[in-house]
Chains A and B, each alone.
Chain A
Amino acid sequence: MEPFIEMRGIHKVYPDGTVALRGVDFRLYRGEIVGLLGENGAGKTTLMKILSGLLPPTQGEIRLEGRSVRFRNPSDALRAGIGMVHQIFTLVPPYTALENILLGQEGSALWLRKEQARPRVERLLEEVGLSIPLDVPVELLPIGVQQRVEILKVLYRGTRVLILDEPTSALTPLEVDELFKFMRRLKEDGRSIVFITHKLREVLEICDRIVVLRNGLVTGEVQADKATPELLAERMVGHAVVPRVSRSPRPPGEPILVVRDLEVMGDLGVPAVRGVSFEVRAGEIFGIAGVEGNGQSELAQALGGLRPIRRGEILLDGKPLPPLAPIEAYRQGISHIPEDRLRFGLALHFDVAENSILSRQWEALFLRGWGRLDWPRILAFAAELVQRFQVLTPGVRATARHLSGGNQQKLVVGRELSKEPRLILAVHPTRGLDVASTAYIRELLIRMRDQGKAVLLISADLDEILELSDRIAVMYEGKFLGVGPAEAFSRTEIGMLMGGILPQEQR
């Protein structure tokens, strides 16, 4: 049978030089559900953005029913019957479902078209077996229903290929069941679905065929009935042996950070961290692995005093950490290397010196009487920081914007480590960095551990977790699915945990 869509030799290099895809072949047949499986950065979303016309491929060809096509924008792809539902919703919150479905279509003013279009939308609802309230502002609808509106928006354009990017990440189990029912119905209608996910159980349950991506390459393609979690996990995380960084052997000390039964809400109004308990001891690196979006960000923000906690407690040196009080957290000895240096860690238009006291601007060390900044001391401190942590900059008065990503991150990391902390909270500390900066920052973290500090490392980079951690936890859907010494896990086992398969199911 001829594939409905065929992508051949797709390469994608982003303008900043990141290579996302290195020659991917992908086929999609009529009436099938294909799972696209992979870790963060494997290239799943990039590949599908290319198919849906959002990104041009650097190289490679797309064939639709055997004919070569080029999509210049998402409208081209929609006209060809290909539509994508993104992880981040694109609905206008105060508009109703009906208005959102019609929005962006060509034609007369929205309020004129609305009533003409209503019968067509209702017919579509019936056809695909969904019921949603059409006249309620979508912001008042639950997440699961909002997602259906999002899908309907795409289907309304006569879509034959539906791409769903991690559609289950914000859904309750019941909503996931309903989504799957709906997906099967679409499939019976002869439509094809690409299901992007990192969840092994879901991919095995709903898909006909599974394509595994890793590092921009296809590493596996199997019929779902022949696939096992082990096989998929292995393909997803690879089996490279990561050399463990040399470290001084030392027995872990007393617990510095103790977290008990912590529950934290996510931005969508559902719990993102669901009852997590752990401790980090002096002189150890505790690594939290997991595919992003499983509650790691919310956990880190709660620990750093940036997000309220719903239940549970956080103790630092036995003292409870007050919620939503970053300065109190810093005062008690937390250093926070935030997950996104540009979003949280730096002010790009501030100079290096100003950035070197960001989050320390309240410390008496940098102030004179009447809340005046002690500029001579700040400049000297910044100069020392730049030198000690090898930040390449024209000077401490240069704007942070002019530094490379690696040097910006070294500035943030250096600033945080210079606080003489008890606990270092490092979130994706080397994301997007060149090899040299990455190695340097990892070395710094190890050095901190050897000095007897407690290090909590949260990273979506499995290699980083395996290389640095003394103990590892895998986070999945807001919970820890396995905690233990680093030596106790094989790479494949961690891969399966990242995909939501528990150890007892692995046997």
Chain B
Amino acid sequence: MGRARPLLESALAILVGLIAGGLLMLPFRYDPLRAYQALFQGAFGTTHDILETLAFATPLMLTALTFAVGVRAGLFNIGAEGQMYVGAISAVFAASLLPLPPGIHIAVATLAGMIGGALWSLVPALLKIWRGVHEVISTIMFNWIAFHLVTYLAIYYLAEPGRAERTRPALPTARYPVLAEGSTLTAVIFVAVLFCLAVYFFLWGTRFGYELRLVGENPEAARYAGVRIGQALLRSFLIGGLAAGLAGASQIIGRPPAWSLYATLGNVVTLGFDGIGVALVGRNHPLGGILAAILFGALQHGGRFMEYHAGVVSELVRAVNGLIVITLSIPELWAMLRRRLAR
């Protein structure tokens, strides 16, 4: 019984969220059924739409993983945003400046992004482990430091000559292949899904994953079991950093048409924070995160069609989406709260 329950709860939450969103539309005299039909059609109606939905989902499943693997270790790591910026700029550097043969170049640029993200998570991790600095404080500060640092690098060192509004684009050798003509979905989604699967296997299939989860469930039992708590926390931060870094890189070397970072960071900004919501909807599970990310992608891509076809103004579309997301997060938020109170 225990395993299916989160799925059931989330399914119920989707239903409640849709109804709540529909109620919100009523006073403005929109037809919720038509709006939702447009949303669904828009998100999944054609192969092209499905691919776009998945393109939106790709970075989100990764930043959700950052948050989820933190929660599994008892952390509230909200540093995905900053780690994702650093991952993106690292990928820009490797993809646009290093002349490497095809194949190897993609791998190097991907790894550069991941390592950049992981390095950015290292300082908050060590502050937590050595000095007990709460990760919410340190990661928020590091998000801002990353924002300004990456903006600076993008404008002063990596800007495309003559087009200062963005960085140099990734060289063709560093670009993930587009999966269908005219689509913005690239093969980077396979890397993202593979990474989620790997983390899932790590958490439930290895000793260190077991220890990481034990630290999150009951730190004193972890100590009793001989777990080195600092090491477990470090692993959680670093895995989260790798995931966020990959999310950032995926928007540079795996997302047409830009293949570069905008100087405003406009093509990546909030992907890290959105991941928190995705993680909650996905019950802080690496595989649940994939499903939740697709749902978020559908809301983002399909939401546009609510505007075209059902005439719903875009502000209200966003309000309805927000309401659905909040409703969906409630089961996991509630579970997290209960565990905290139970201590």
When distances are taken between beta carbons in the complex, the residues of chain B under 8 Å from A397 are 2
Interface of B is mostly: helix
Closest to B207 in A: A371
Q: Interface digits, B213-231 against A, CB 8 Å rule (1 contact, 0 not)?
A: 1100110110111100000
A347 close to B214 (CB less than 8 A):
yes
Residue of A351, A362, A367 with highest tally of chain B CB at under 10 A: A362
Partner of A373, one of B210, B214, B217, B221: B210
B205 close to A350 (CB less than 8 A):
no
Q: What's the nearest-Cβ distance from chain A to residue B159, in Å?
A: 44
A358 close to B214 (CB less than 8 A):
yes
Number of B interface residues, CB 8 Å?
A: 18
User: Could you jot down 25 A-B contacts, CB within 8 Å?
Assistant: A305-B226, A325-B226, A327-B226, A343-B218, A343-B221, A344-B224, A345-B221, A346-B218, A346-B221, A347-B214, A348-B217, A350-B213, A350-B214, A350-B217, A357-B210, A358-B221, A358-B225, A359-B226, A361-B214, A371-B206, A371-B208, A372-B206, A372-B207, A375-B205, A398-B2
Given contacts A330-B226, A358-B214, A347 and B207 within 8 Å (CB-CB): no
Given contacts A361-B225, A362-B226, A349 and B339 within 8 Å (CB-CB): yes
A347 close to B217 (CB less than 8 A):
yes
Cα-based distance from A358 to B217 in the complex (angstroms):
12
A347 close to B221 (CB less than 8 A):
yes
Q: Does A306 have its Cβ within 8 Å of any Cβ on chain B?
A: yes
Q: Does A338 have its Cβ within 8 Å of any Cβ on chain B?
A: yes
A344 close to B208 (CB less than 8 A):
no
Q: What's the nearest-Cβ distance from chain A to residue B321, in Å?
A: 31
477-496 of chain A: CB within 8 A of chain B:
none
Q: Interface digits, A363-393 against B, CB 8 Å rule (1 contact, 0 not)?
A: 0000100111101000000000000000000
Cα-based distance from A349 to B206 in the complex (angstroms):
18
Closest to A340 in B: B220
Cα-based distance from A330 to B225 in the complex (angstroms):
9
Cα-based distance from A349 to B340 in the complex (angstroms):
13
A361 close to B217 (CB less than 8 A):
no
Name 9 extra pairs, CB < 8 A, besides A326-B224, A330-B226, A359-B226. Answer: A305-B226, A326-B225, A336-B224, A343-B220, A349-B217, A350-B213, A357-B210, A358-B224, A373-B205
Q: Does A399 have its Cβ within 8 Å of any Cβ on chain B?
A: yes
- Chain A residues near B (Cβ < 8 Å): 304-306, 325-327, 330, 336, 338, 343-351, 354, 357-359, 361-362, 367, 370-373, 375, 397-399, 402
Cα-based distance from A351 to B3 in the complex (angstroms):
11
B2 close to A399 (CB less than 8 A):
yes
Cα-based distance from A230 to B338 in the complex (angstroms):
49
When distances are taken between beta carbons in the complex, the residues of chain A under 8 Å from B211 are 361
When distances are taken between beta carbons in the complex, the residues of chain B under 8 Å from A359 are 224-226
When distances are taken between beta carbons in the complex, the residues of chain B under 8 Å from A361 are 207, 210-211, 214, 225
When distances are taken between beta carbons in the complex, the residues of chain A under 8 Å from B2 are 351, 397-399, 402
A347 close to B224 (CB less than 8 A):
no
Partner of B218, one of A348, A357, A367: A348
A372 close to B224 (CB less than 8 A):
no
When distances are taken between beta carbons in the complex, the residues of chain B under 8 Å from A375 are 205
Closest to A357 in B: B210
B223 close to A306 (CB less than 8 A):
yes
Q: What's the nearest-Cβ distance from chain B to residue A458, in Å?
A: 16
Given contacts A326-B226, A398-B2, A372 and B205 within 8 Å (CB-CB): yes
Q: What's the nearest-Cβ distance from chain B to residue A480, in Å?
A: 25
When distances are taken between beta carbons in the complex, the residues of chain B under 8 Å from A372 are 205-207
When distances are taken between beta carbons in the complex, the residues of chain B under 8 Å from A330 are 226
B339 close to A306 (CB less than 8 A):
no
Cα-based distance from A118 to B210 in the complex (angstroms):
54
Q: Interface digits, B131-146 against A, CB 8 Å rule (1 contact, 0 not)?
A: 0000000000000000
A345 close to B205 (CB less than 8 A):
no
Cα-based distance from A305 to B211 in the complex (angstroms):
18
Cα-based distance from A397 to B3 in the complex (angstroms):
10
5 pairs of A and B residues whose beta carbons are closest in the complex: A327-B226, A326-B226, A347-B217, A359-B225, A344-B224
Cα-based distance from A397 to B221 in the complex (angstroms):
19
Residue of A357, A373, A398, A399 with highest tally of chain B CB at under 10 A: A373
Q: What's the nearest-Cβ distance from chain B to residue A400, in Å?
A: 10
Q: What's the nearest-Cβ distance from chain B to residue A395, in Å?
A: 10
Cα-based distance from A373 to B207 in the complex (angstroms):
6
Cα-based distance from A346 to B214 in the complex (angstroms):
9
When distances are taken between beta carbons in the complex, the residues of chain B under 8 Å from A350 are 213-214, 217
Closest to A367 in B: B207
When distances are taken between beta carbons in the complex, the residues of chain A under 8 Å from B223 are 306, 326, 344
Cα-based distance from A370 to B211 in the complex (angstroms):
15
Q: Interface digits, B46-90 against A, CB 8 Å rule (1 contact, 0 not)?
A: 000000000000000000000000000000000000000000000
Given contacts A371-B206, A372-B205, A372-B206, A304 and B214 within 8 Å (CB-CB): no
When distances are taken between beta carbons in the complex, the residues of chain B under 8 Å from A349 are 217, 339
When distances are taken between beta carbons in the complex, the residues of chain A under 8 Å from B220 are 343-344
Given contacts A371-B206, A371-B208, A375-B205, A304 and B224 within 8 Å (CB-CB): yes
Cα-based distance from A361 to B211 in the complex (angstroms):
8
Closest to A346 in B: B221
Closest to A398 in B: B2
Residue of B208, B218, B223, B226 with highest tally of chain A CB at under 10 A: B226
Cα-based distance from A350 to B2 in the complex (angstroms):
11
Cα-based distance from A358 to B220 in the complex (angstroms):
12
Q: What's the nearest-Cβ distance from chain A to residue B73, in Å?
A: 13
When distances are taken between beta carbons in the complex, the residues of chain B under 8 Å from A325 are 226
When distances are taken between beta carbons in the complex, the residues of chain B under 8 Å from A327 are 226
Q: Interface digits, B222-257 against A, CB 8 Å rule (1 contact, 0 not)?
A: 011110000000000000000000000000000000
Q: Interface digits, B191-219 against A, CB 8 Å rule (1 contact, 0 not)?
A: 00000000000000111101101100110
